[in-house]
């Protein structure tokens, strides 16, 4: 019998890639998603890659009645991977209550059901945003948590605290928080990837849309940072590597290999790249020249951050394998797929 994993936000960017890896590793996946930032036909993409279309339930995890109904019918779930959340930093500043409600209420509802129906394991999507601008680089899991820069970042910090406190009150439960650095790229098949919603905020979708001629030019935010070329440094990680780490985390909990009920892991490559280095990697791996200009810093951006991945490498036995060129090439292939299917994806 296949073990059943609930993936919330499973039609989203990281959720869909993780669903693929779970199915490829012999798990049965059931997805909950309200489709607020994704499309139902992602399920067809998952089927194209794996041969299996996961079971899908469309509802909002803040809807307590629907959550209760769902869990009543799915008491055999072995672990939950909780991706579903609002994730736009800028929007969270404009609509803080929306973010606090969506991100905190959904986790509280899930944890309540885990207690009630004895579902023991949860992996949580956290973010390196909890470290702010670290004093010491690279950042380890013990690096200080700094006051959040945005309501979005604050929800990630509070959710980690909710998990810690809930586990403290119920020792049947296990959790792993995975702190992502900058997830980029797409599945090599290019049938799933990051879906654009309006003008992209993030670097890689902006690069691929500029290269595709959808945007006039890329703005590089800031050139006076204390970094090798003056532009900001991030730890970009291929979304497929990230997805694989979730499978490992789930197996660790199911097979009771955890060292503590609550664990936290950094998920990055351990390598930092400047914005200009990313642009160069894109140009050299795709052969496409990018039109860009250097402008002022973007408010709220930190200067540099990259992960110390020692703990994840040693404890999880997982390591990111795909390099920056592969990330860029796969993002570009996905962009081309989107363009070929323009009428479906762009208004
Ligand atoms: N950048 C540009 N031009 C752009 C977009 C981005 O120069 O058009 C730069 C940014 O200034 C930054 C880097 O590219 O230096 C990466 O920016 P992203 O917006 O892609 O990613 P961030 O590091 O700002 O944010 C990401 C996630 C957030 C998360 C945060 C944690 O998008 O959800 O990491 O640090 F909170």
- Residue 347's pLDDT is 61
DSSP state of 227: S
**For ligand 1, atom 32, which residue shows the shortest CA distance?**
202
How far is ligand 1, taken at its centre, from the CA of residue 24, in Å? 31
Average pLDDT over residues 189-201: 92
Run of H or E including 82: strand 77-82
Determine whether the shortest distance from the Cβ of 221 to ligand 1 is under 6 A. Answer: yes
Atom of ligand 1 nearest to the CA of 207: 8
Residue 20: predicted pLDDT = 98
- Atom number in ligand 1 closest to CA 156: 36
The residue contributing the CA closest to ligand 1 atom 3 is 220
Please tell me the distance between residue 89's alpha carbon and the centre of ligand 1 in angstroms.
Answer: 10
User: Which residue has the least CA distance to atom 11 on ligand 1?
Assistant: 221
pLDDT at residue 15 is higher than 70: yes
d(CA 238, CA 115): 34
Q: For tokens 């009630």, name the residue.
A: 116
Average pLDDT of the chain is: 97
What pLDDT does residue 256 have?
Answer: 96
CA distance 16 to 192: 7
Residue 76 has pLDDT above 70, yes or no: yes
Map residue 261 onto helix, strand or coil. Answer: coil
Write out pLDDT tens, residues 152-191.
999 999 999 999 999 999 999 999 999 999 999 999 999 9
Place of tokens 């990680």: 237
Point out the catalytic residue in the list 152, 225, 236, 262: 152
pLDDT at 197: 80
Digit-coded pLDDT (tens) for 17-60: 999 999 999 999 999 999 999 999 999 999 999 999 999 999 99
Question: CB of 68 closer than 6 A to ligand 1?
Answer: no
Length of the chain: 347
Centroid of ligand 1 to alpha carbon of 202 (angstroms): 5
The residue nearest atom 21 of ligand 1, judged by CA position, is 202
- Tell me which of 99, 275, 292, 299 to substitute to probe ligand 1's pocket, judged by most ligand atoms within 8 Å of the beta carbon: 275
pLDDT in tens, 240-295: 999 999 999 999 999 999 999 999 999 999 999 999 999 999 999 999 999 999 99
Q: Which atom of ligand 1 is nearest to the CA of 200?
A: 8
Is 125 touching ligand 1 by the criterion CB < 6 Å? no
Helix (H, G, I), strand (E, B) or coil at 12: coil
Ligand 1, atom nearest to 278 Cα: 14
Atom 19 in ligand 1: which residue has the minimum CA distance? 202
- CB of 319 within 8 A of CB of 108? no
Q: What pLDDT does 196 receive?
A: 75
Strand partners, 182: 236
Per DSSP, helices labelled H in 143-214 are 151-169, 203-211
Give residue 302 CA to ligand 1 midpoint distance, Å.
9
Report CA(294)–ligand 1 centroid distance (Å). 15
**In whole angstroms, what is the distance from residue 41 CA to residue 46 CA?**
9
14 lines ligand 1 (CB under 6 A): no
The reported pTM is 0.98
Q: Whose C-alpha lies nearest to ligand 1, atom 29?
A: 129
For the chain, the first-to-last Cα distance in angstroms comes to 43
Q: How far apart are CA 239 and CA 183, in angstroms?
A: 5
Q: Do the bridges between strand 174-180 and strand 262-267 make them parallel or antiparallel, or are there none, so unpaired?
A: parallel
Percent of the chain exceeding pLDDT 70 equals 99
pLDDT at 238 exceeding the cut of 70: yes
Burial state string for 205-233 with b = 16 or more CB within 10 A and e = fewer than 16: bbbbbbbeebbeebebbbbebebeeebbb
Q: Is 157 in the pocket of ligand 1 (CB under 6 A)?
A: no
Would you state the pLDDT for residue 345?
79
Closest among 65, 4, 8, 63 to 37, alpha carbons compared:
8
152 given a catalytic annotation: yes
pLDDT of amino acid 61: 98
């Amino acid at each position: 019998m296949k073990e059943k994993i609930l993936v919330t936000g499973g039609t989203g960017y990281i959720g869909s890639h993780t669903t693929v890896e779970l199915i490829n590793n012999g798990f049965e996946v059931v997805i909950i998603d309200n489709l607020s930032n994704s499309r139902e036909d992602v399920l067809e993409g998952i089927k194209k890659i794996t041969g299996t279309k996961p079971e899908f339930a469309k509802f909002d995890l803040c809807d307590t009645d629907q959550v209760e109904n769902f869990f009543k019918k799915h008491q055999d779930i072995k672990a939950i991977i909780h991706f579903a959340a609002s994730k736009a930093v800028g929007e969270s500043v404009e609509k803080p209550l929306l973010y606090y409600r969506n991100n905190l209420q959904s986790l509280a509802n899930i944890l309540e059901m885990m207690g009630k129906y004895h579902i023991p394991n949860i992996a949580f999507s956290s973010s390196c945003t909890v470290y702010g601008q670290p004093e010491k680089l690279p950042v380890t899991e013990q690096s200080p948590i700094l006051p959040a820069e945005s309501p979005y970042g604050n929800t990630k910090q509070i959710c980690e605290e909710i998990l810690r406190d809930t586990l403290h009150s119920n020792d049947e439960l296990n959790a792993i928080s995975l702190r992502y650095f900058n997830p980029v790229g797409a599945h090599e098949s290019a049938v799933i990837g990051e879906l654009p919603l309006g003008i992209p905020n993030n670097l890689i979708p902006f690069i691929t849309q500029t290269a595709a001629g959808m945007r006039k030019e890329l703005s590089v935010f800031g050139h006076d940072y204390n970094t090798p070329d003056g532009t900001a440094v991030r730890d970009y990680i291929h979304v497929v590597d990230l997805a694989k780490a979730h499978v490992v985390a789930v197996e660790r909990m199911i097979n009771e290999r955890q060292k503590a009920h609550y664990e936290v892991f950094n998920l990055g490559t351990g390598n930092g790249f400047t914005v200009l280095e990313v642009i160069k990697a894109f140009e050299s791996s795709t052969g496409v020249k990018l039109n860009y200009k250097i402008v002022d810093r973007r408010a709220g951006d930190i200067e540099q951050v990259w992960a110390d991945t020692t703990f994840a490498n040693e404890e999880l036995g997982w390591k990111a394998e795909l390099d920056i060129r592969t990330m860029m090439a796969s993002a570009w292939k996905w962009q081309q797929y989107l363009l070929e299917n323009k009428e479906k994806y762009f208004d």
